[in-house]
Amino acid sequence: MKRRDIIKNLSVLPFAGSFIPLTSAASPADENGLLPSGPLVIGPNIYESIGVDPVINCRGTFTIIGGSVERPEVIAAMKAASGYFVQYDELAYGVGRRLAAVTGAEWGMVSAGCAAGMKHVTAACVTGGNPEKLIRIPDLTGFEKTEVIIPGYSRNAYDHAVRNIGVTIITVNTAEELENAINPKTALIYIMTGNDSVSGQPLSLEVIAGIAKPKNIPILADAAAEILTIPNVHLQAGATVVAYSGGKAICGPQCAGLLLGNKDLLMSAWQASSPHHGPGRDNKVGKEEMMGMLAAVEAWVSRDHQAEWKTWLSYLDNISKQVSKINGIQTTVEEPTELSNRSPRLKISWDPDVLNITGDEVAENFARTKPRIAIGSSNGPGATSIHITTGQMQPGNDKVVAERIYNLLSQKRNPRSTSMTAPSVTIGGYWDVTVEFFTSKSDHKFFIEQDGNWIQGTHTSDFSQQEIMGMVEGDQVTLRSNLRRPGDGITYMFSGKVSGSTISGSIFLGEYLNAKFTAKKSSYKMERKRIMIPGGPPLAT
């Protein structure tokens, strides 16, 4: 699965960005979903000691649930590094030189995460290493380089790291558009690696490099969730710098990123990074993370990746054998070959009208009740499924997961009801909506058309207007709208109760947590007047 595919499907990741109340008769959760807690206890129950329940990760390297588990070598390196002081520029040079030796790249750099590294590289391309320009960011007035070109297939939520420098983004979709977009203001071309960037595609990295290299335009390849290739396939294809997340496939520090590529550009990127003052000071990478990231790369070249793959497959085999005892269950093991998020995955499918439960409902159940398990899910015509991704599963997790799936799917359930409670309210028309965020309020608007239980219309938010859909049962209203723009998206999920001419309730905002809303029926009326169609072209404009 490509990184941008995961981005598109963040809304189906169980409990992403939300506070989750857990089912526990003895210890009820508070309003934020946290269990009772006491003093911090260092040990296996460190999270439980403060009322936070850990999660079995069968989903992948999502930052929202901790990314990856650090390698023992990484933990040892970070602990060893923590007891001493060192001059950071000397450390960065020593780490960069060693990363180059291990990976075969010209140079290396450790940043405070992949996104931070992308930000530093963008700053380097805009400033050319000139500190007087660096301290003026994001005010780029008078700068020669102020534009970054991004192929349309690479627009994503993470390109905020590039935009944070204050550059103008130019989106292109063809090689011809790229040729025309490059000009003296072009500082950088950014791409997210994946199927659209591989050789043979219309705007592959090789095609981009063929156009950009003769014009001395650097190319930044975002390979955050990929495995590390040595020699590096993206540098070989023409990238100037490639960026990785430390806390994903490489299993380094969660708060570290890895940059490989051109030495001069990475030295300029280091200049734009903490401890140096300027726009990158807020992205501080510690000496512990720097040495931990180096240890992760050193370990990568000596790890037995084939043995790891066999272990992951054994987890899936154990789960498959257990759940296949249930009539109507089909299992398929998928072994991806792409570089990003590469680990085996088990797809468990069934007819939801036979087992009377959907994959989404299973994922939701696993997210809300103990032991908590993060899994994927999907639905299609006459079929539903859950997905078990192994890359971050720990020894023994497979037994817990197999038992949990078997117990839930083997239960007898009554046929799913398709009936709906008739609406007791009529809410068609215009509504003035007040949205209460944590520290501010916004004025939104609804235009709603009601057809029995079903609702459609428009939702006007602060800076956008999008379609809204939903339903009414009794006096309960649920609505959903999706704000989409290049690289970003926000899903509004309204849940409210109608009382007279008011609807009030809460808004689930996915990774952006929650808000409250109150909607009041509007007496909005358009001016009614005749429209005269002229009989010919105007005599004046």
Each residue's pLDDT tens digit, 18-47: 444 444 434 566 666 677 778 999 999 999
CATH of domain 72-300: 3.40.640.10
**Residue reference for tokens 């088990």:** 346
CATH of domain 429-521: 2.40.128.120
Round to whole Å and give the CA distance between 362 and 12: 12
pLDDT of residue 192: 96
Closest CA to 446 of 400, 496, 410: 496
How far from 204 is each of 109, 189, 535, CA to CA, in Å?
25, 12, 54
**Contact in structure between 494 and 480 (CB atoms under 8 Å):** yes
The tens digit of pLDDT for each residue in 466-489 reads 999 999 999 999 999 999 998 899
User: Of residues 212 and 540, which shows the higher confidence score?
Assistant: 212
User: What strand order describes the sheet that includes 107-111?
Assistant: 107-111, 257-261, 241-245, 219-222, 186-192, 147-151, 168-172
pLDDT of residue 484: 93
How far from 517 is each of 96, 461, 495, CA to CA, in Å?
51, 12, 9
Encoded tokens for 446: 């609804």
User: Of residues 157 and 2, which shows the higher confidence score?
Assistant: 157
DSSP-derived 3-state class of residue 76: helix
Distance of CA 417 to the CA centre of its chain: 34
Encoded tokens for 401: 């997961």
pLDDT of residue 33: 64
Distance of CA 199 to the CA centre of its chain: 26
Round to whole Å and give the CA distance between 459 and 492: 10
Closest CA to 379 of 369, 368, 387, 367: 387
Q: Which 8-state DSSP code applies to residue 166?
A: T
pLDDT of residue 31: 63
DSSP-derived 3-state class of residue 317: helix
Residues 6+ apart with CB under 8 A from 526: none
The enclosing H or E element of 354 equals: helix 352-355
pLDDT of residue 26: 42
State the average pLDDT over residues 432-458: 97
**Contact in structure between 247 and 67 (CB atoms under 8 Å):** yes
Q: Which CATH superfamily is domain 3-54+306-409 in?
A: Aspartate Aminotransferase, domain 1 (3.90.1150.10)
Q: What are phi and psi of 210, to 5 degrees?
A: -60, -30
pLDDT of residue 497: 97
**Residue reference for tokens 């420098």:** 165
Return residue ranges of the chain for CATH 3.90.1150.10: 3-54+306-409
Q: How many CB atoms sit inside 10 A of residue 523's CB?
A: 9
> Is residue 338 pLDDT above 50, yes or no?
yes
Angle at 40 between CA 246 and CA 51, to 5 degrees: 85
Helix axes 88-103, 263-271, angle to 10 degrees: 150
pLDDT of residue 127: 97
Q: Is the dihedral of CA 49, 50, 52, 58 positive or negative?
A: negative
Using only C-alpha atoms, the chain has a radius of gyration, in whole angstroms, of 26
The tens digit of pLDDT for each residue in 221-259 reads 999 999 999 999 999 999 999 999 999 999 999 999 999
pTM: 0.89
Round to whole Å and give the CA distance between 21 and 34: 7
Q: How many CB atoms sit inside 10 A of residue 302's CB?
A: 7
Encoded tokens for 92: 């960065």
Burial class (CB in 10 A: 0-12, 13-18, 19+), 448: buried
> Is residue 53 pLDDT above 50, yes or no?
yes
State the average pLDDT over residues 371-384: 92
Q: Is the dihedral of CA 172, 173, 176, 178 positive or negative?
A: positive
Q: How does the average pLDDT of the chain come out, rounded?
A: 92
End-to-end CA distance of the chain: 55
pLDDT of residue 12: 40
Which segment of 30-34, 394-398, 532-536 scores lowest on mean pLDDT?
30-34
Closest CA to 442 of 524, 519, 367: 519
Q: Is the dihedral of CA 4, 246, 398, 370 positive or negative?
A: negative
pLDDT of residue 487: 86
What sections of 69-174 are H helices per DSSP? 72-81, 88-103, 114-127, 131-134, 160-163
Q: Strand 502-508 to strand 514-521: parallel, antiparallel, or no bridges (unpaired)?
A: antiparallel
DSSP-derived 3-state class of residue 44: coil
Encoded tokens for 89: 């520029």
Q: Confidence class of residue 526 from pLDDT cuts 50, 70 and 90?
A: confident
Round to whole Å and give the CA distance between 340 and 156: 15
Return residue ranges of the chain for CATH 3.40.640.10: 72-300
Encoded tokens for 402: 């197999």
Q: How many CB atoms sit inside 10 A of residue 143's CB?
A: 18
The tens digit of pLDDT for each residue in 414-428 reads 998 888 999 999 999
pLDDT of residue 25: 39
The tens digit of pLDDT for each residue in 98-109 reads 999 999 999 999
Round to whole Å and give the CA distance between 497 and 24: 28
State the average pLDDT over residues 293-303: 97
Round to whole Å and give the CA distance between 284 and 205: 30
Round to whole Å and give the CA distance between 286 and 274: 9
> Is residue 9 pLDDT above 60, yes or no?
no
User: Of residues 340 and 147, which shows the higher confidence score?
Assistant: 147
Count of H helices and E strands in the chain?
15, 21
Which segment of 35-39, 173-177, 326-330 scores lowest on mean pLDDT?
35-39
Instruction: Please report, to the nearest 10 degrees, the dihedral formed by the alpha carbons of residues 227, 233, 234, 235 taken in order.
Output: 120
Return residue ranges of the chain for CATH 2.40.128.120: 429-521
> Is residue 515 pLDDT above 70, yes or no?
yes
The enclosing H or E element of 312 equals: helix 305-323
Q: Confidence class of residue 17 from pLDDT cuts 50, 70 and 90?
A: very low
Q: Is the dihedral of CA 203, 191, 71, 396 positive or negative?
A: negative
